[in-house]
Each structure stands twice: as structure tokens, then as C-alpha cells.
Amino acid sequence: MDVSMVYFSQTGNTRQVADAIANAFRQAGHQVQNVPLEKATPGTLEGDLVGVGTPCFACQAPSPVKAYLDALPSLNGKRAFVFATAGGAPGRVLYDLTRPLRTKGADIVGGFLARGEVYHPAPYILGRFPGRPDDQDLDRAQSFADALARHVAAEQTGALPESRSDALRAGWGFYDIVAKITPDVVARLLMPEPKVDAAKCDQCQWCVRHCPVGNIALQPTPVLGGACIRCYRCLTGCPKEAFSANWAIGDLILKALYNPTFERWFGDLGPAEQL
């Protein structure tokens, strides 16, 4: 079986899960193409089985992933699976992958989710789920891949039992609604804009190359355009730590939405699971 996978990863969490899934397929004797989003083309997903992975941003899939899926050609009934990492309530993140794949004609056979350590710089959520995905998470990812391979090889219909239900149908819980009401334009209003300290910036262009939406230009120091998705990759990755943000208001918003009580009541945080 030929397996084609595309994944978006900034800090490495989703890449680790993608690699674990890909390695499980390879160990079972399948041919695997495992491509990061920045190197993928609309024609990359051309195997017998295709997969798409993403981190969760504000209970949803980030804009670059959605744009890639919208640009895909017809998948003509290909079997497909989705996977994600989340440092909090996943909301609609898996269904955000499933819906456009179905629109392109794919047959969704499964969805997988793992916890991922939070590298978002807001003090209230920074560092949640430390060390995740861990070995146990990656073992679960490999088991998911093994089940997928058996399911497809047996030509079974429908989704495999190990799939997360939120990958297969839209939900309307609290965090699903949070995802619906916080598109990028709202995120730009609620979350602080990264600011650059010209004295620290050496104009290395790291931020220009790594901005997932191509929103930064040097003039001669970095200037953000109007398409920022508030991923803060520029802030967390800058080699000179030249970016900063004022979290006085943003932290209060995040505390109101993503406090542990709400995550247990309305999200998928288990009773014994710790942030």
C-alpha cells in the first residue's frame, strides 16, 4: 500500500506523531511519503491511503492547513485519515480536516489526537502538558496506524472503531463554538500583536522564512502585515528574541476560556488528567 501524509508542525509535536504513524506503516511493509506542509503540493496526497495532520490553534485547524486542503484536487474516493496534537480542548480541529477532505471526495476511515506541550507564549497556558507527546502517546499513534492498515487491507467499510468520534462528525459543544467564533480576524482583535525590538533584530530574516502565512517583510526590520494568525512563531522562534507581546488582556481572555474547570466540563480533559 502507498501511503501519502502531509503535516503542519511548528514546534515538533505534530511532526513526532506524523513520524510515529509513518514508521508504523513502514514497519508493516508499506511505502510512505511523509511531507511537511511547507514542502507539500496539492498533488502530494496521491497514495492509496492519505493522511493530514495539524496542531490545534484556538480549538481549530490553523489557516495554512485549511488553505492547503481547499486547494486539493478531487480525491476520487481515496481512503483518508486525520490526526492532530492539542494542548487543550481540541474543539473542531479534527473535523476541520475531515470536512474539506470529504468535500474533495475522500472516504474518512479514522481520526487520532494526542496531547502536545504548549509553546504558545501566553503565560497562562505556556508549558501545559510538559513533555507531550510522550512515549505512550507515540505508541498509541503507532497502534492507530496499525489498525488503519488492517482496516484498509481488509476493505472494511466505514471508520475503524479506534477512531475519535469528533473526527467523523461536527460537534456543537462549548469549544466547538469557540472555534466557530474565533477566525483569524477575531484572533487579531483579542490577542496582542507581536512587536519587534529593533535594537535586538539583526535582520537575519528567520521570521520572514518561517511565518506560515508569509505575513512578515523586512523594512528594514520586520513588519507584520494584515494576515497574522497569532501563532507567535516569530516570537517563539526568533534567534535573537527580538519579538515580544503584552499579555495583560490576552491572558485574561485565555484564562476565561481555557481554565481547567471549563476544560473538564466542556472539553476532553479527563478527571485525573493534569495540565
Multiple choice CATH, 184-266, 3.40.50.150, 3.20.20.330, 3.40.190.10, 3.30.70.20: 3.30.70.20
Looking at 87-143, which runs of residues are DSSP E strands?
A: 107-115
Going by C-alpha positions, the residue among 86, 89, 108 that lies closest to residue 97 is 108
pLDDT tens, 77-115? Answer: 999 999 999 999 999 999 999 999 999 999 999 999 999
Multiple choice CATH, 2-177, 3.40.30.10, 3.90.550.10, 3.40.1190.20, 3.40.50.360: 3.40.50.360
* pLDDT value at 158 more than 90: no
Looking at the chain, which runs of residues are DSSP E strands?
A: 2-7, 31-36, 49-55, 79-86, 107-115, 195-196, 216-218, 222-224, 243-244
Mean pLDDT within 125-152: 97
What is the value of pTM for the model shown? 0.97
pLDDT band for 272, please (50, 70, 90 cuts). Answer: confident
Crossing angle of helices 63-70/93-103, nearest 10°? 10
In the chain, where does the domain assigned CATH 3.40.50.360 lie?
A: 2-177
